[in-house]
Each structure stands twice: as structure tokens, then as C-alpha cells.
Structure 1
Amino acid sequence: MRTVEEHRAALVGLVSALPPVTVGLTESLGRVLAADVVAAVDLPGFDNSAMDGYAVRSADVVGATPASPAVLEVDGDIAAGDTRAHVLRAGASMRIMTGAPMPEGADAVVPVEASDGGVSRVALTLAAEAGRHLRRRGEDVRAGDVVLRAGVRVTPGRLALIAAANVPDVLVLPLPRVHVLSTGDELVPVGLPLEHGQIVDSNGSMLAALIRAAGAELVGVGHLADDADAWRSLLEQVPGEPDLILTTGGVSMGAYDTVKEVLSATGTVDFVKVAMRPGMPQGGGVVGDRRTPIITLPGNPVSSFVSFHVFVLPVLRALAGLDPEPVTTDSVASQGWSSIPGKVEFTRVVVDADGARPSGGQGSHMLGALADATHLAVVGAETTEIRPGDGVHLLPLVGEDSSRGHR
């Protein structure tokens, strides 16, 4: 029987990082940068006003106060986007809008709130010193500066920075392409009536959602009955040219475990037991002429869900060129629970301000507790009892709303 760490390492060893790809700015959101982003322009690109007000020469407003304002002529307006070259003469001002380029000769801005709002002649009540309410060219970023380092994910704010730096395309880590296949004569697509002995194929929908939430690209979701010939035919050429095939069901010891029957015969896929609960039956290897990596997950919904977080996520991260080590956090138990010896147990828990507590029934078929969970508590194989106040190691669940509880 393998340990969790041994099986994770075996699966990660099946893949190597995919080559980076260049994408347009609008496609980069959520992607991880594979190269530094270098600014093509200064930010700001020119001296501009930080306020709506009046561009002035600071020497012309020395001593200005509400009781003794400086009165200047207004030589015109400068709006944001004005590309003309303006020159401010001594003893005059120009009305200027936020973001508009400063006229030559001006070295300060008096906000409109410190004026009488005049349009041909204005009384200014602020003695603005040189540099007041100005944004200097390049004070944020200089052309040639690295504005974002490789390895960071493009968020909306970072995308805005890339755009402002006038960089239209970026090199990013690829989104691994995944095809999901569920198996079982008893499975029926969601929305159809069920006959006696049939169940809804929730695993296909669940794994598809997990793949998207994990930032990978879903290239197909399919279902096959327990038909060995159909499986052999499909695995010869899986649609979508995936980087990873993910199956669920048919990997245990039953007479109709077709996935195991077909893939065992290839000699390129291993089926093992892993010392964990839920999710003991596991498998992995490569299939087809392209030697596409395949991970076979158990069919029980919670087992499949847990296995995705423990085994599939590290593989997706490795394909994307990221560190495959699971991202974990810690908390304390707000409520106790028991665990079996000899296996690592992944308890579905809710983490809130009080700590971690089981989210409900822990059977591998119990989706109700799964729907409420925010994390998986990783309970070591030597531990049989978690007591209130004990420290617990946690795997955050993919796509879980971070507004619920602590993260």
C-alpha cells in the first residue's frame, strides 16, 4: 500500500511543465506570468495635474491666503487628452483638469476649491509651492522598469498596470488541458428521470467544475458505460488533445470495474491502494500514442473530490510550471472527532472564527457534508482522536468562497 506522499510523487512524475505561451492582454487575466513584464513607457508619461484647478507658476501665488488672494488672468483651459503644447506666461494661470498635461512654465496646481472659480480672471487663496498637486513624469514607473515579476498571477489590478505600461502581449504559463471521463452503467445525466438502481452522474459535473476553478482548461467531459471495447476505442484518441485525462469510477476490485480492466492490460497504468480515507483505490500512468498522462479516481463522489485536491491539483500545478507542493494552512479544532489508525484521513471541515469542525457525515457518499465544507483537515495515520483545541493541518478547497469563515 502506498503512502499519500508516494502516490502524489508518482503522479507528478508522469508530467513535465508545458512550454509557456504568449497571449494578448485581455487573455492574461488569471494566468501566471512566465517572464518579467517590462514597461514600454514612463508612468505617468508626462507631467500632469493631480487635481481640477489652475496651473500656475508658484512664484505668482506666494503669500496667497483667503484674506489676501493672488489674482491672475486665466489664459485658457487644458482638458485631459489635450495634446497641444501650452506655455504659461508669468502672471497668468490656466484652468486645468485632473490628468491633463501641465503647460510649460507651470510648476504647481491650485485646486479649484481654493479659488473663486473664475474663467477669465481668478482669485487664488492657496500659496501652492513648486510641485504641489503635480504628478511628475516617470514618478511611478520608468520605461525599462520591471513592473511585474515572473511567477505572479495576473489580477485585474496587475492587468491594469500591464496595460498602462503599454505592453499588449505577455508570456504566461499555459492552462493545462484536461478531459474528464466518468464510467458506470448506473449513471444518468443530470436532469433526466431515474429508474430503479440509477444515480445522477454528479462526478462528471463536479470534476469539470473543479478543473475550471483550479485554473485549468476543460476540453471535454464524457461518460462511458461499462463497455471495455468502448473504452479501448476512446483511449486510442481522446478528443481535445488533452494534457491530462481524468477518469472517475471503475478502479476498485469489482467484477465490472472496466477502467481498471482495460487500463491494466496496457502495461502503462498502475492501480494501487493508498493509505488514506476516503479514496483508497487510485491509479495513474500514460495512455495512447501520445503517452497522455491519466489519473484514475474512485467513483464515490467524496472520494473523487478529495482525491482531486490531494493528487490532481499537484499534477495540474506541475503541468503549469508551478511548485506542485500542496498549499496548506493551519487552524485549531473547535470540535473534536475521531479517526481510524493506519490511514491519513481527510476530514471535510468548516473553518470559521472558532476554528475547524467537521461539516457533517464523513461517508464517501455523503455530498451534503461536502457542500458545506471549506477545507480538508489532514489527520495523520498515527492519530485516532482530534480534541478541541488541537492544531489541525488544512487543505483549502478549490473555488471555495473566501468570505466564509477564516482563510
Structure 2
Amino acid sequence: TISAPAREGAHIRRTGEDVVADSVALHAGTVLGHSQLGLAAAVGLAEVRVHRPLRVLVASTGTELVDAPAPLRHGQIYESNSVMLAAAIRALGCEVDVVRSVVDDVEEFRKVIEPKLADADLLVTSGGVSAGAYEVVKDALTGQGVEFAKIAMQPGGPQGCGRWQGVPVVTLPGNPVSVLVSFEAFLRPALLTAMGHTDVSRRRVRARLTEEMSSPAGRRQYRRGVFTPSEREVTGIVGPRGGPGSHLLAAFTQANCLIVLPEDVTSAAVGQEVDVLLL
């Protein structure tokens, strides 16, 4: 029994409904996930040109560092920077080689690191760049193509960058929160850009403070925080989590954002709008 006439064009998929001829199906800089790979195959591409993963050598320095689970002696701490950096860099799609707990000795630093440079696109170090008596990274790389400076930010002031034996180098501070903030501010965008990404910035929103905050004059402060969206606010509310100390790593694990106070702001009141970087 035919109860109704067939509608002209029903149940027919027209040429060009999904992708029109000569149009761009996938733009340069697109991250290739399962749907993007499926589309490439659907338009007849067996292969696409991609940026190869960067090979990053991560090195942590400090005679006081001990690799877990070895027992600690007086004055020692467990090494965590290379674990964090390696995980964060791998999450971006890079290949990572790790050298942990290099002692504060220039010759030993060069002996351990130099043989690995030939296979690296980038060297990232943590520790040994401040103003202490044994700043092994600064001592080893000063005059070798790497420049060191103190950035007007908190945490993460001591920084360095350049080239050593032709390999790009980024030297980060030694405290763990300084390492993570420096990664977010400098290293993450640079790595993504180098691998061809077009969207390299964290989402930035405005939110009202739930607690009063203070910041040192002349420094851009990055504080760990908890952001909560709110329909009644600008975009939401935010409050700091933990103190400003660059050794307070536990608070970072509970944060979902970084609260940014500019260099000319020394205090922010409850209810004041601030910039927030969503992690």
C-alpha cells in the first residue's frame, strides 16, 4: 500500500552537502583527532602533512634533590620538577627525555647534558638560575649563548633562554610553583606555536574576587585560584587557593585557574574584577 506520494529529492544525499569542491576541509594548525582524521579520509586523503613532535630534553638540577622513594637525609627534598614538566610537555604532544637531579657541579652538568643535545629540539632546565652560591645552570651556560635575567613576575622571577651548541634552551627557576607558572606563561605557548598550533593561549575571563589579595609592587603576580562560573557575575567568582609561596605545590593541585594581578596593582579588594587564566 502506498499511502503518500514520494517527495522529490527525499532520501538522496547531494554532492557537496558536506564539503564543497575546492573548499578547505581542514585548515593548517588543526589538531588531528579522530573526527579530523575521519574527514581527511572521507575526502580521499590517505596522508596529510603534519608537524612532527618536538623532542624536549628536561633536566632538573640541585645537589639537595633525591629521587623517590629513596629515604631523605637532613637538608634533602624529593625531586618533583622534572616529573611535572615531563608530564605537562608530553600532554602537548612532545617527546620527552628526562635527566633528574643533576648535582651542583658545572663539569658534571655538562658531562650529563651535552651528549643528549644532538637528539633534542629544546633543552628545558629547572633550578640553578637564581643568586645562590651554587647556580650550576647559570655558571655552566653564561657566555655560552644563554642569557639570564630576573623577570618582573611572582613567582618565577629568575629566567634564562638562548642557544647552547645550536640547541634552544629555556632555564626555569627551581621552586615547583615557579616552574609551573613559568611553563604556563612562557613555555606552553612557545611549544604549541613551534608545533604549528594556532590557538596557543589559555582562555582568559574576568571574575570578582571572593577574598582580598595583595601583590608586590612592580611584579605581575600569578596566584593559584578556584574559579566558579556564575550567571549573576561578569563571568563568575574566583578566590585564591593557598598562599603566594613558590614552594606551596599542594594548592596548585586544587586550583583550576591562575589569578593575574598586574605590576601596578598592590592590593585587590573583595568584589573587585580581576583577570583569570583558566587551566
Are the equivalent residues in 2 in contact too, given 1:208–1:221 (CA < 8 A)?
A: no
The alignment status of 1:287 with 2:153, answered yes or no, reads: no
The alignment status of 1:365 with 2:241, answered yes or no, reads: no
Q: Residue by residue, what CA displacement relative to the aligned partner does 1:275-304 show, whole Å, maximum 9, x if unpaired? A: 11111111111112xx11111111000011
Residue identity opposite 1:334 in structure 2: L
Distance 1:126 1:218, change over 3 A: farther
The alignment status of 1:170 with 2:48, answered yes or no, reads: yes
Deviation for aligned residue 1:326: 4.1
Distance 1:337 1:274, change over 3 A: same
What does residue 308 of structure 1 align with?
Answer: 183
Q: Residue by residue, what CA displacement relative to the aligned partner does 1:229-254 show, whole Å, maximum 9, x if unpaired? A: 11122343325621110000111111
Q: Which has the larger radius of gyration?
A: 1
What does residue 374 of structure 1 align with?
Answer: 256
What does residue 200 of structure 1 align with?
Answer: 78
Query: What SS does structure 1 have at the residue aligned with 2:162?
Result: strand
Distance 1:168 1:219, change over 3 A: farther
Query: What SS does structure 1 have at the residue aligned with 2:209?
Result: coil
Distance 1:170 1:128, change over 3 A: same
Deviation for aligned residue 1:183: 0.7
Deviation for aligned residue 1:364: 0.5
Q: What percent of counterpart residues are identical? A: 41
CA distance in 2, matches of 1:366, 1:307: 15
Residue identity opposite 2:178 in structure 1: S
Are the equivalent residues in 1 in contact too, given 2:127–2:137 (CA < 8 A)?
A: yes
Match of 2:205 among 330, 334, 341: 330
Deviation for aligned residue 1:191: 2.6
Distance 1:226 1:296, change over 3 A: same
Are the equivalent residues in 2 in contact too, given 1:219–1:240 (CA < 8 A)?
A: no
Q: Residue by residue, what CA displacement relative to the aligned partner does 1:14-58 show, whole Å, maximum 9, x if unpaired? A: xxxxxxxxxxxxxxxxxxxxxxxxxxxxxxxxxxxxxxxxxxxxx
Residue identity opposite 1:345 in structure 2: Q
Are the equivalent residues in 2 in contact too, given 1:333–1:386 (CA < 8 A)?
A: no
Distance 1:216 1:283, change over 3 A: same
Match of 1:261 among 139, 161, 164: 139
What does residue 27 of structure 2 align with?
Answer: 149
Distance 1:184 1:146, change over 3 A: same
Deviation for aligned residue 1:138: 4.1
CA distance in 1, matches of 2:47, 2:99: 31
CA distance in 2, matches of 1:131, 1:230: 75
What does residue 192 of structure 2 align with?
Answer: 317
What does residue 4 of structure 1 align with?
Answer: none
Deviation for aligned residue 1:323: 5.8
Distance 1:147 1:322, change over 3 A: closer
Deviation for aligned residue 1:145: 4.0
1:179-258 matches, within 5 Å, as: 179-238=57-116, 241-258=119-136
Distance 1:386 1:316, change over 3 A: same
Distance 1:332 1:262, change over 3 A: same
CA distance in 1, matches of 2:201, 2:21: 37
Deviation for aligned residue 1:216: 2.5
Match of 1:352 among 228, 231, 243: 228
- Gapped regions of structure 1 (runs ≥ 5): 1-68, 71-124, 398-407
Deviation for aligned residue 1:192: 2.6
Number of residue equivalences: 272
Deviation for aligned residue 1:144: 4.7
Query: What SS does structure 2 have at the residue aligned with 1:130?
Result: coil
Query: What SS does structure 2 have at the residue aligned with 1:253?
Result: coil
What does residue 82 of structure 1 align with?
Answer: none
Deviation for aligned residue 1:181: 0.1
